[in-house]
Amino acid sequence: MRLMVSGGGTGGHIYPALAVINELKRQDPDAEVLYVGSHRGIESTIVPKQGIAFEAMTIQGFKRSLSLENFKTVYLFLKAVHEAKKLVRQFKPDVVLGTGGYVSGAVLYAAAKLHVPTVIHEQNSVVGMTNKFLSRYVDKIAINFEAARSQFPENKVVMTGNPRAQEVANIESHFSLTTLGLKDDVPTVLVVGGSQGALKLNQVMVESLTTLAKRPYQVVFVTGPKRYDSVMAKVAATEESDNISIQSYISNMPEVLPKMAGVVGRSGATTLAELTALGVPSILIPSPYVTADHQTKNAQSLVKANAALMIRESDLTATTLTAAIDQLMTDDNTRAAMAAAAKKLGKPHAATEMLALLKSVSAK
């Protein structure tokens, strides 16, 4: 199989694509893959490190306000479509997969116009601008949340889940909490505001540490690399506790998550795919700074299934946070029920299902 993949800008677009590529390579070691991303996106760093052939294009997104910069955006898009057509003709893919981001708009549009089979994957419950545009041209649309179905042409939609879930579900974790200065036999909650941390969550956690230090469970608090020093400066005066570990960053999160009894964090699509694949109950604090408030809608799908609690950032205080953590961590029955509900939502075979979809589309 010859697979061309395009997706970029955020890890939420890149990691599902990599999961599909890894599953393809597992099933067919001789498969040829070409990943097309943007020069400025993090995919230009992440993808080549995986040993995957990578081509970069210059492209940018539209400004939501009236701006002369949008004329440049249109020019760059048309130029990228022209470049993408060249790449498609040279690589001759059996099928092209788009996982979101501006660059995938140009690549999938070009492939569709050349009558090459195309599939897009929408990770969120609210459809992104690029995938909404592409939905008119592609052959099939894979979704992760049922809420996205009605936003696409019904006859094109296939529920696959997020391919990232399969990679996480299959990880054999040998991680020990002792590496973080904690005990392996005490229920532990992980508090993390995304890879860069979250300012308000960090502030509220600093206010909550004295209370949390008296609890019978353990807490791993991840601040984000850029915020670690300021957090530690604020907690320097607080009394040290043997049930709290403060970290700047955790690089091996898929190995750490299975050891957690609960997680407090954002509700991006990749995070939720990981939590549901592993059956980890959570307290979700959706980021209010994302397009169309899609993280709130993502979180609501878990809350509705009794797999998570949710606190809006506007309602986040030391009181509401510690109350929610206590609710999750001090009642074993509640936690077990939420874990089972989360597991039911998980898609542990999502990458395999996505690959089957790609093969079926390419065969037509």
Q: Are residues 358 and 252 in the same domain?
A: no
Do the beta carbons of residue 354 and residue 142 sit within 8 Å?
yes
238 and 332: one domain?
yes
CATH of the domain at 338: 3.40.50.2000
89 and 56 assigned to the same domain: yes
Residue list for the binding site: 10-12, 124, 195, 250, 295
Q: Are 132 and 151 in contact (CB under 8 A)?
A: yes
pLDDT tens digits, residue range 84-111?
999 999 999 999 999 998 899 999 999 9
Model-wide pTM > 0.75: yes
Q: Could you tell me the CA-to-CA distances from 7 to 15, 18, 100 in Å, in that order?
A: 9, 10, 5
Specify whether 30 is located in the same domain as 121: yes
Q: Are residues 146 and 256 in the same domain?
A: no
What are 265-317's pLDDT values in tens digits? 999 999 999 999 999 999 999 999 888 899 999 999 999 999 999 999 999 99
Residues 277 and 142 in one domain: no
Same domain, 161 and 99: yes
Task: Check residue 10 and give its pLDDT.
Answer: 83
The widest CA-to-CA distance across the chain, in whole angstroms, is 66
- The pLDDT of residue 62: 52
Q: What letter would DSSP give residue 179?
A: G
As annotated, the binding site for UDP-N-acetyl-alpha-D-glucosamine includes 10-12, 124, 195, 250, 295
On whether both 221 and 132 belong to a single domain, the answer is: no
At residue 264, what is the residue type? V
Residue 105 sits at the vertex; the CA angle it makes with 26 and 97, to the nearest 5 degrees, is 15
The residues with which 95 forms a beta bridge, in sequence order, are 3
Structural domain that includes position 268 = 177-345
- The total of structural domains in the chain comes to 2
Task: State whether 117 and 243 are in the same domain.
Answer: no
Same domain, 271 and 306: yes
DSSP 218: E
Residues 205 and 110 in one domain: no
Both 162 and 236 in a single domain?
no
